Amino acid sequence: MTTPQIRITDPRALPATFGQKARAYVELTKPRIIELLLTTTLPAMVVAAGGWPGTWLVIATLVGGTLSSGGANAINQVIDRDIDRVMARTRRRPIPTGRVSERAAIEFGLLLGVAGFAWLWATVNLLAALLSTAALAFYVLVYSMALKRSTTQNIVIGGAAGSVPTLVGWAAVTGTLALPAWVMFAVVFFWTPPHFWALAIRYRDDYAAAGVPMLPVVVGVERALDHILAYSVVLVGVSLLLPATGAVGWIYLTVAAGLGVWLVAGTWRLRRDPGEAMRFFGYSNVYLAVLFLAMALDPLLLR
Q: What mean pLDDT comes out for the span 228-249?
A: 96
Are the C-beta atoms of 96 and 90 separated by less than 8 Å?
Answer: yes
> pTM above 0.75?
yes
Domain segments of the chain: what residues?
A: 24-302
Confidence band, pLDDT 50/70/90 cuts, at residue 4: very low
Q: What mean pLDDT comes out for the span 242-260?
A: 96
In Å, how far are 84, 114, 143, 258 from 110, measured between CA atoms? 20, 6, 17, 42
Confidence band, pLDDT 50/70/90 cuts, at residue 284: very high
Please tell me the distance from the alpha carbon of residue 303 to that of residue 289, in angstroms, as a whole number.
22
**102-123, pLDDT tens digit by residue?**
999 999 999 999 999 999 999 9
Q: What mean pLDDT comes out for the span 49-64?
A: 96
Q: 24-302 sits in which CATH class?
A: mainly alpha
The mean pLDDT value of the chain amounts to: 92
The gap from C-alpha 135 to its chain's centroid, in whole angstroms, comes to: 11
Confidence band, pLDDT 50/70/90 cuts, at residue 14: very low
